[in-house]
Amino acid sequence: MTFVIETRGLTKTYGSVRALDGLSLSIPRGGVYGVLGPNGAGKSTLFRILLGLIRPTAGEAVVMGGAVGDVAASRRMGSMIETPRFPPFMTARQVLGWLSAAHGLKADAARVSGWLERVGLAEAADRKVRGFSVGMLQRLGVAAALITEPELVILDEPTSGMDPPGIQEMRALIRSLAERDGITVILASHQLLEVQRVCDRVAILNRGRLVREGAVSELTSSGERLRLSVTPISKTLEVLAALSYASGSLDGDAVVATLSRPETPALLRALVEAGVDIDEARWVGADLEAVFMTETGSVQMPESIHAG
């Protein structure tokens, strides 16, 4: 497997704050890779180091096969770090023309228009950036990251500040970048559902450390649980509490049981014997939130459920 990004022991301290703490990460080529973590986890710090904007306190990073600061290697990467900003007197179209020039590309009106179209800025193409909303700045930031036709694109919270339809469009765009254009996308987000829906693999960061890494399907299947629609609920919880191989908890008007799959028939038998009516029993995958909570012991993932 080839890696677009490899870091070893990457550490960045700001005074007493360890923004990154010995982070070792290998991000494979292809697909969408999520860097997930709560605010302050160190996602933007990681990206700033990869872009050469700041130097790590310790450790090393390799981007597209070159050390950070190797211009030939980093020119194969596009990026958007946090809310992008642009010279206010330029139009969206001019911003892309300017960045093309900075990259040594000839002004290509069709390429510029094509990207403005894909990020949904075709109508605002000739308006000055000065009047852009946060969502429009994000869209232009994504176009700016892609105008140089990179093999790898790093997007830091690309949907923050966007309205729900905009978020949907951005997610579809990100998937199409990976699937249609063959661009490796690295996406930072603090929104679990966003990462779960868009990413193929994910690294979960907390306080500058890597707490879990793997394919989204792997991480969510390992925490699957049995969801039971039953009456009476209290009886069901009693039965579950008495069993050695299972445990249960209440989730809305259903009971969620944690056990290994082979034990399913035994559990159902025990419930029936106790006089419980089972309307439905269904295995559900864990979402990343459950994974995150078990890994970090934290429940603090703002906006994870409702904003997703």
Ligand X SMILES: Nc1ncnc2c1ncn2[C@@H]1O[C@H](COP(=O)(O)OP(=O)(O)O)[C@@H](O)[C@H]1O
Binding residues for ligand X, rule: CB under 6 A, are 14, 17, 19, 37, 39-45
Pick from 186, 107, 101, 106: which is nearest to 142 by CA?
186
CB of 57 to another protein, least distance (A): 12
Q: 41 touches which of Mg ion, another protein, ligand X, none (CB within 5 to 8 A by kind)?
A: ligand X
The residue (of 128 and 209) whose beta carbon lies closer to another protein is 128
CB of 41 to ligand X, least distance (A): 4
The residue (of 198 and 267) whose beta carbon lies closer to ligand X is 198
Q: 158 touches which of ligand X, another protein, Mg ion, none (CB within 5 to 8 A by kind)?
A: none
Q: 75 touches which of ligand X, Mg ion, another protein, none (CB within 5 to 8 A by kind)?
A: another protein
Q: Which two tokens stand for residue 55?
A: 């130097």
> What span, in angstroms and rounded, lies between the C-alpha atoms of 97 and 26?
33
* Interacting residues with another protein (CB under 8 A): 48, 51-55, 71, 74-75, 77, 79, 81, 84-90, 94, 97-99, 101-104, 144, 148
Could you tell me whether strands 77-80 and 152-156 are parallel, antiparallel, or unpaired per DSSP bridges? Answer: parallel
* Interacting residues with Mg ion (CB under 5 A): 43-44
Q: Which two tokens stand for residue 183?
A: 């661009």
> What span, in angstroms and rounded, lies between the C-alpha atoms of 169 and 173?
6
CB of 57 to ligand X, least distance (A): 12
Q: 42 touches which of Mg ion, another protein, ligand X, none (CB within 5 to 8 A by kind)?
A: ligand X
CB of 156 to Mg ion, least distance (A): 6
CB of 300 to ligand X, least distance (A): 13
CB of 157 to ligand X, least distance (A): 8
> What span, in angstroms and rounded, lies between the C-alpha atoms of 201 and 275?
43
The residue (of 19 and 121) whose beta carbon lies closer to ligand X is 19
Could you tell me whether strands 209-215 and 201-206 are parallel, antiparallel, or unpaired per DSSP bridges? Answer: antiparallel
The residue (of 129 and 174) whose beta carbon lies closer to ligand X is 174
The residue (of 162 and 205) whose beta carbon lies closer to ligand X is 205
Residue 74: C-alpha distances to residues 29, 45, 85, 173, 195 (Å):
15, 17, 20, 23, 25
Strand order in the sheet with 58-63: 17-28, 3-14, 58-63, 66-67
CB of 118 to another protein, least distance (A): 19
Q: 294 touches which of ligand X, another protein, Mg ion, none (CB within 5 to 8 A by kind)?
A: none
Q: Where are the alpha helices (DSSP H) in 103-162?
A: 109-118, 134-146
| CB 91, CB 129: distance < 8 Å | yes
Residue 54 is given by DSSP the state: S
> What span, in angstroms and rounded, lies between the C-alpha atoms of 42 and 30?
23
The residue (of 111 and 190) whose beta carbon lies closer to ligand X is 190
Instruction: For 71, list phi and psi in degrees, rounded to 5.
Output: -60, -40
Give the three-class secondary structure for 4. Answer: strand
Q: 290 touches which of another protein, ligand X, Mg ion, none (CB within 5 to 8 A by kind)?
A: none
The residue (of 80 and 96) whose beta carbon lies closer to ligand X is 80
Give the three-class secondary structure for 300. Answer: coil
CA 68 to chain centre: 23
CB of 85 to ligand X, least distance (A): 16
The residue (of 87 and 232) whose beta carbon lies closer to another protein is 87
Strand order in the sheet with 77-80: 77-80, 152-156, 184-189, 32-36, 201-206, 209-215
